[in-house]
A and B are shown apart, each in its own frame.
Chain A
Amino acid sequence: MKSKKQKRQGDFQKVQLKVGKKKPKADNATNVNFKSKAIHLPEQLKHADSGPTTNRQLDIKDLLSKLHHVNSNIKQGALVGLRELLSGQPTLIELHASAVLSEVAALFTDKDGSVRAAAVRLLRFIAQCIPPERVAPFFPLLSAHLTCAMTHISEAIQEDALRVLDVLLEHYPGLLSQRHTVLLTNFLELISQKRKSGTGQDKAGKGAFSLTISTNRKVTAQQWRLTVLLRLGSFLQAVVEERPLEEGVISRIGLGMWAGEKGSVTPVDVSWEEHAFGKGKIQVFENSGAVPSPHSAYRLRPDSKAGGGMNKELCSAETVQGFAGTLVPLLLEIWVEAAGGDSVQTDSDHLLSAEAMALMFQILTILQLLRRLTPQRDQQDILDAWFRNSYLTDFKHHFMKNFPYGLREVARHKKKADGKRIRQQVAAGTVAGTNVEPLALNVTLCQVMVTLSLRGQDHIEAEDADWLGPIRVFIRETLSNGGKLSLKHLAALLEVVWRMIVTQRSRVVTDDLLQAVFVQYQQRNLAVSVRTLLLRFFSRLYIQEQQNHPHIARSRILACWLASLPVQLVQLGSRNPQLSAQLLETIHPAAARGNKDLLQSLQKNACSIYDPQEGCVVVLPAESQKRLVQILHFLPAFPAELLACLSQVCNTGRVSASLATMLIRSVHLRSPLSGCSSSLQDVPVKDVDYLSFFFTTLTGFSSEMLRALQDTDEDGLLPSSTLSPLSVFATTLEQFLHHWDIVEEVCHCLNTLGSRAQCFDVIQNAINKNLCGLVVVPDCVCAAILRCVPRLLDVNFLPSDTLLHFLSDCCLSMLNLLLQLEQSARKRDAVWEACFAALSTVPRLLRLVLQSFHVFDLCEEELPVLAQILSLLLQHTQLRNHMMANASLLQHIIQDLTHFYGGETREQWLTDLLYCYSVTLSGHRTNMGMRDIY
């Protein structure tokens, strides 16, 4: 205890400070006499944090956490920072998509406008980077926030919500359209409020909603409604477009209306060559025909709901009716207000301000879209009928009231409105989409109204006449006033025309409307797309509807249009192959149906279409060429000059050999000589023309060309000599082979004619008359003659001497040519085949050839050639018997040859020849010997 006390005293000993003495240092005094230096580790600092940062050194976690800050400036800064960071490092978006999206979405309802604007900007940026399928998991969240914003009590937030909607519509229309149940009511609530059941006002009974007017907005009620309706329109558009396409339903609206339709079974397509060589195994029934296709019309009952999951979608008529029942009264109210408000400003009813016009245009667009929400045809009909029953009187009253006036004054209105519109646009600069042409409005109005007209019944037609009349007048005047219409408007107008023609079933109406369309069609300098659209309209009208509607079939305008097609084809030439193909697509079926107007016109223009120099058949691509050749089959008559053209087309090489054979075949089939056409009264191809066509095609050169050839001395010319009595004009390999294929087909066709002897007689006369006197002959002509003669020659027919002499000349020249052809195996084969066939089928020809070998007339250099020819002939086994028949002649030649060749050394060619000769003879002798023994 004591010691403790002492200790304590020791602790608290007082230090005596005295003047003059230095103050003793405290025990805990810091010793500061050291020096320090800073160590810089910049690398380490930078890499300490893993993620990339912004300029302000903030990483993504910081930024996200700052979004929850109270201060709106900091929030906005964080949003800007996020955008900067993500644009620098796009990979981050994928990593943090969920966090970023949920945080940004939460800011849609932020109190501060600038924060919301920044959030929208960020969302727009993110949407560009992430594809819809990756956003899909977060989309419920996004749309929940969107809904929250749209139904927010603050109007500024509501307005910004529409911007968000814009972004989502632009990038994720498919995802958004799945949320239509919530969103559609939100749209309604934006411009209206639910009518309380108790308040029985004057408009009661029109619908459950009534329009709201709020005074504290920056924009007028009309502008606000316009913005909302714009979004509603584009949202419905998204719903319509993004719906999983119902099979077998052709979209018949707008530009797609005249597009082709698709089948649901993919047919197997094979060509015979592939199949024959085992390349394509066909499994038809496994592939496409195993079960009857679902499009079979055999159904126990029509499916009421298409595809189980679809029943919540907006595709049945009932759901659409439910929605339309609330929306349409609202739209009508807006229409009335727009029209009424406008009529105060201007003195007459049909003149509208740009804003009102935009509003009306949106209303009509929405009405149109509502109708398109049902994909199935029968549902669409139900919906049409429902619209007609419920709203026809309203529509007629409101829409059509000023329509005819507006129509007449539209042009003037346009001019007047220009200045006004500019002023208004300045005033209402915030509202987008105010630029709506009056034409667009009117056309859309027509479209909406025309869908209400039902097809068929007579009493309804009379009923509808009062409002369809003005529409008809408007359409006729718009189309025929000579102005150029844009593609979109024209498509819409044509759709209206189509519907009216089909529903009204009157010839007067049809001709009236078609006349207007035809005026449009006849304009010069139309854009290609517009031209194609008009063309499709007419061709679909002709091909699809003509049979069901006699009033269309009898239309004068349609006939006139059809007759003009071949002329257009000629005029178009090679300038636009797509358009030509389009034309042919109509000409072909029309020709197949035997349309008189078309066929007459086709016949008139046939020579220019099938012109061998610049006719369509040579300048267009292969697919169109094929169609043209097929159309040939339906021509009523083939005059001589057309056949001359066709023959040249075959031979100029600008159509492929297979197409040329097709052409030859169709001429052959049309001739009565072929025995296919049974009718005897009309003869499309005269026999004389037929035979001269085939002969010209066989030779491949017209008489003028051959005559011109006699006088030229070109490089391709091989001079005539003793061994080659004709001077041969060597054609190019390509031309030769092309011609070779054609000759094959010609021979085949001639071969199937009834009387072979007569046919050969004609050919023989033709050869004698046209070819025998020639000095210069193209090699392909020689080959063709040599080929066709043995194929056409009848056993009992004796060819004339002139022909045989010409043939022997040809044969000799060809054999001579054969030895000079090293470069092309195919040509050599062809030439040899021709010579061989001729020599083996006509024994007298061989004798003539051998007789024409005059050894003593030959010069030194030609001897080896002769020997080679001889050994070639000797080597061939099939020719051996024929050679043997001429053994004495042969022996004579060989003797002369050995005598005449006085060289000391035996050359190789001579040895070869003698060897061949001895082999042939000995073989023959043994045969003879064998025969003697037996």
Chain B
Amino acid sequence: MSAPVEVVLSADSAGQLFNCAVFDPHSGSEFLSYRGGNTSSRSLTVLNGEYILGAQLGKNFINVWEIQRKDQLQQKIVCPGIVTCLSASPDGLYVLAGIAEAIYLWEMSTGNLLAILSRHYQDVSCIRFTDDSSHFVSGGKDNLALIWNLSSVVQLDSSRTPEPRHILSRHSLPITDIHCGLMGPQARVATASLDQTVKVWEISSGEMLLSVLFDVGIMSVTLDPCEYFLFCGGSDGNIFQVSLCSTSLSRDKTFQTDSDGNQVFKGHRNLVTCLSVSMDGTLLLSGSNDETVRMWDVQSKQCIWSINHKGPVTNAAIIPAPANMFLADSHPAVPLPRFSRHLNPSEQGDTTGSGGVCLRLGANTQVPEGTYLEKADELYSLMCAVTDKVSGEVHHCCQDSIITVSRILARLSRRRSFV
């Protein structure tokens, strides 16, 4: 059996059988499971295709697994507080964690804590990166969603506190979920809130494009890759599908009302906590507090399969299958560094010399040590590690996944050019 293109990664809050498990998106059969602890909501993330990070529910540490060594908990990262949400950047360079009101930003290459952003007034409920890792969006229980520019957060010298690029303040109740579309800084963001609305925003300008009012609070939201549809998981267990561009241009059809319910996925009995759409936009994954994960066919709105968990589902996502996942003898190209718990590593006093070069643009605050040759050597080894990893990944990439991706890109570009 060839390795699958995409896999389903899900976790529940009970953690009896496993912390999180990997399933086949087409059959629902279990591939792997990772044991130890349980994961809180919106805090399971895959770092760089090599590690799985999951914040422990109600505790102040993050569980880390190497993606191929499923049984063994590799490491626990101890954080300053209970982690409410966690996200790794798609390029694998940064990790963001929401800890109470603050957002912590770590650099993966060194483990340095680069910034603590405390612009939220209440707990941060969700953090999402854009697909090019240039921006991230954080939503909190204080009704605010903030759009941050990653480079401006990282580059600033310590004298100035980082400012969010835009503040989205039109929600009137806590934000429950965020989804970032594709296209980097030109992407659209969808935010769901308990105030029964889902709003779509533009990252570049911070303007609101759309607001959809439902009759129940919305707990989760996602867009399909082409942004044709918006999927919203309600607190009553229904999943609503909002069509974002009406494709029927013939005027005769306008009087045909869509019959009631053909845009609702019905099946869950309790709040829908997480939603995710597959790469080709045909499959929708949903996890709910009724302890099931369901896979739906988007076209026919039928449930394809469902998996029973032992507790409310906290995380469920369709992710591209990481290269290392099914190779038991592989190992990560870059070892996970120790995460620093303080903003300035020099204050902490542990100058044991992990030896990493600290490349920070803009700031000349760090005085480099060592000779030029030493540094060049280190740089070279680092670059070698990166290229090794990249080539390994390329070999593993299946033919048909390339085709799917290229098709989607073509569709995307056609639509952008059309509109």
Interface residues of A (CB under 8 A from B): 263-265, 267-273, 275-279, 281-286, 288-290, 292-293, 295-298, 547, 588-589, 592-595, 627, 630, 633, 658, 662, 665-666, 669, 675-676, 678, 680, 748, 751-752
Assess whether B54 is interfacial by the CB under 8 Å rule: no
- In the complex, A298→B165 CA distance in Å? 12
B236 at the interface (CB under 8 A from A): yes
The residue in A286, A298, A547, A676 that gathers the most chain B C-beta atoms within 10 A of its C-beta is A676
Contact (Cβ within 8 A) B212 A752: no
Contact B207 A265 (CB under 8 A): yes
CB neighbours of B188 from chain A (8 A): 289
Complex contact A282–B58 (CB within 8 A) = no
- Which of B243-251, B324-332, B402-410 contacts the other chain? B243-251
Annotate B211-233 by CB proximity to A: 1 below 8 A, 0 otherwise: 11111110000000001000000
Known contacts being A278-B257, A285-B245, A675-B312, is A273 close to B209, with CB within 8 Å?
Answer: no
Query: Contact flags (1/0) for B162-205 with A, using CB distance below 8 Å?
Result: 00010001001110000000000110100000111001101011
The complex places the Cα of A263 from the Cα of B260 at a distance, in Å, of 34
28 A-B pairs with C-beta separation under 8 A: A267-B207, A272-B213, A277-B257, A278-B256, A278-B258, A282-B210, A282-B242, A282-B244, A284-B209, A284-B210, A284-B244, A289-B200, A289-B202, A292-B202, A292-B205, A296-B205, A298-B185, A593-B142, A630-B172, A630-B195, A633-B174, A665-B217, A669-B194, A675-B312, A678-B41, A751-B269, A752-B271, A752-B289
- Within 116-144 of B, Cβ neighbours of A (below 8 Å) are at 119, 121-122, 141-144
A283 with B246: CB separation less than 8 A: yes
Q: Quick one: closest A residue to B264, CB to CB?
A: A276
A630 touches B173 (CB 8 A): yes
- Known contacts A292-B205, A594-B122, A658-B215; decide if A268 and B165 are in contact (CB<8 Å): no
- Cβ of B23 < 8 Å from any Cβ of A? no
Separation of A269 and B200 alpha carbons in the complex (Å): 10
What are the nearest 7 A-B pairs in CB distance? A593-B121, A296-B204, A281-B246, A265-B207, A278-B257, A271-B213, A293-B205
Report chain A residues within 8 Å CB of B336.
none
Interface magnitude class on chain B: 35 or more
Q: Nearest residue in B to A270 (C-beta to C-beta)?
A: B212
1/0 contact string of B58-75 vs chain A (CB within 8 Å): 100000000000000000
Rounded to whole angstroms, the CA-CA distance of A281 and B247 in the bound complex is 10
Neighbouring B residues of A285 by C-beta, 8 Å? 209, 227, 244-245, 419
Known: A265-B208, A284-B200. A748 touches B236 (CB 8 A): yes
Chain A residues with CB under 8 Å of B257's CB are 277-279
Check A270/B205 contact, CB under 8 A, given A282-B243, A594-B142: no
A293 to B166, CA, bound (A): 14
| B residues adjacent to A (C-beta < 8 A) | 40-41, 57-58, 84, 119, 121-122, 141-144, 165, 169, 172-174, 185-186, 188, 194-196, 199-200, 202, 204-205, 207-217, 227, 235-236, 240, 242-246, 254, 256-258, 260-261, 263-264, 269-271, 289-290, 312, 419
Distance, CA A270 to CA B242, complexed state (A):
10
Contact residues in A for B194 (Cβ distance below 8 Å): 633, 666, 669
Partner of A275, one of B169, B195, B212, B227: B212
* CA distance in complex: A290, B213 (Å): 22
| Nearest-CB residue, chain B, relative to A271 | B213
Q: Are A633 and B215 in contact (CB under 8 A)?
A: no
Q: How far is the CA of A588 from the CA of B142 in the complex (A)?
A: 10
CB distance from A109 to the nearest CB of B (A): 54
User: Once the chains bind, are A592 and B143 in contact (CB under 8 Å)?
Assistant: yes
Q: Tell me the nearest residue of chain B to A286, going by C-beta.
A: B419
| Chain B proximity of A543: nearest CB distance (Å) | 9
Give B270's nearest chain A residue, CB to CB: A752
Instruction: Out of B195, B205, B290, name the residue touching A265 (CB < 8 Å).
Output: B205
- Complex formed: what's the CA distance from A11 to B350 in Å? 152
Inter-chain CA distance A288–B121, complex, in Å, is 31
Of all chain A residues, the one with the shortest Cβ separation from B244 is A284
A285 to B58, CA, bound (A): 41
Q: How far is the CA of A678 from the CA of B16 in the complex (A)?
A: 18
Select B271's contact among A297, A676, A678, beta carbons within 8 Å.
A676
The distance in angstroms between the C-alpha atoms of A676 and B220, with both chains bound, is 13
Bound form: Cα–Cα A658–B144 in Å = 25
Taking the nearest CB of chain A, how far is it from the CB of B125, in angstroms? 10
A593 nearest in chain B by CB position: B121
In the complex, A547 Cα to B174 Cα: how many Å? 19
A721→B150 CA distance, assembly (Å): 76
Nearest CB on B from A587, distance (A): 12
Name which residue of chain B comes closest to A751, CB basis: B269
- CB pair A272–B245 under 8 Å, yes or no, is no
A665 and B207 contact, Cβ closer than 8 Å, known pairs A292-B202, A630-B172: no
- Are B209 and A267 closer than 8 Å at their CB atoms? yes
Do residues A293 and B173 form an inter-chain contact, with CB atoms below 8 A?
no
Say whether A263 contacts B236, CB under 8 Å.
Answer: no
Smallest CB separation, B416 vs chain A (Å) = 9
Contacts of A592 in B (CB 8 A): 121-122, 141-144, 172-174
Cα separation A671 to B382 with both chains bound (whole Å): 51
**A594-B121 contact, Cβ under 8 Å, with A289-B188, A293-B207, A752-B289:** yes
Give chain A residues whose Cβ lies under 8 Å from the Cβ of B261: 276
Least CB distance from A203 to B in Å reads 47
Contact present for B204 and A289 (CB under 8 Å): no
CB distance from A276 to the nearest CB of B (A): 6
Please determine whether A678 and B57 come into contact, CB atoms closer than 8 angstroms: yes
Contact yes or no, A286 B240, CB < 8 A: no
Given A285-B244, A293-B202: A273 in contact with B121 (beta carbons within 8 A):
no
A contact residues around B290 at 8 Å (CB): 752
- The reply to whether A298 and B204 form a contact with Cβ atoms under 8 Å apart is yes
In Å, the complex CA distance between A810 and B271 comes to 33
Is A275 a contact of B207 with CB atoms below 8 Å?
no
**Which A residues lie within 8 Å of B186 (CB)?**
292
Alpha-carbon gap, A290 to B418, bound state (A): 9
Tell me the smallest distance from the CB of A747 to a CB of chain B, in Å: 12
Residues of the A chain whose Cβ atoms lie less than 8 Å from the Cβ of B142: 592-594
Cα–Cα distance between A630 and B194 once the two chains are bound (Å): 9
Residue of B nearest to A752 (CB): B270
- In the complex, are the beta carbons of A264 and B122 less than 8 A apart? no
A797 CA to B336 CA in the complex, in Å? Answer: 53
Measured in the bound complex, the distance between the Cα atoms of B236 and A293 in whole Å is: 36
Q: In the assembled complex, how far is the CB of residue A521 from the closest CB belonging to chain B, in whole angstroms? A: 24
B195 touches A286 (CB 8 A): no
- Specify which of A272, A293, A665, A680 is in contact with B204 (CB 8 Å cutoff): A293
From B57, B188, B235, residue with most partner A Cβ within 10 Å: B235
Report the minimal beta-carbon distance from B353 to chain A, rounded to whole angstroms. 37
Closest A-chain residue to B219, C-beta based?
A676
In the bound complex, residues from chain B placing their C-beta under 8 Å from that of A627 are 172
Contacts of A292 in B (CB 8 A): 186, 202, 204-205
Closest to B172 in A: A630
Q: Point out the residues of chain A lying under 8 angstroms from B217, CB to CB.
A: 665, 669
A658 to B215, CA, bound (A): 8
Q: Contact: B242 with A275, CB < 8 Å? A: yes
CA of A297 to CA of B152, assembled, Å: 13
Extra inter-chain contacts (19) besides given A272-B240, A286-B245, CB under 8 Å: A270-B212, A270-B213, A272-B212, A281-B254, A282-B243, A282-B245, A283-B245, A284-B200, A285-B245, A288-B207, A290-B419, A292-B186, A293-B205, A296-B202, A593-B121, A627-B172, A633-B194, A665-B235, A751-B269
A592-B143, A594-B121, A669-B194 known; A297+B204 contact, CB < 8 A:
yes
**In the complex, what distance in Å separates the CA atom of A290 from the CA atom of B194?**
28
Which of B143, B165, B211, B254 is the most central at the interface, judged by chain A CB atoms within 10 Å of its CB? B143
B143 touches A267 (CB 8 A): no
A676 to B141, CA, bound (A): 13
Q: Nearest Cβ in chain B — how far from A898, in angstroms? A: 46
Q: Give bound CA distance, A903 to B121, whole Å.
A: 80
Whether A272 lies near B215 (C-beta < 8 A) is yes
In the complex where A282-B246, A289-B188 touch, is A297 in contact with B205 (Cβ < 8 A)? yes
Nearest CB to that of B257 among chain A residues? A278
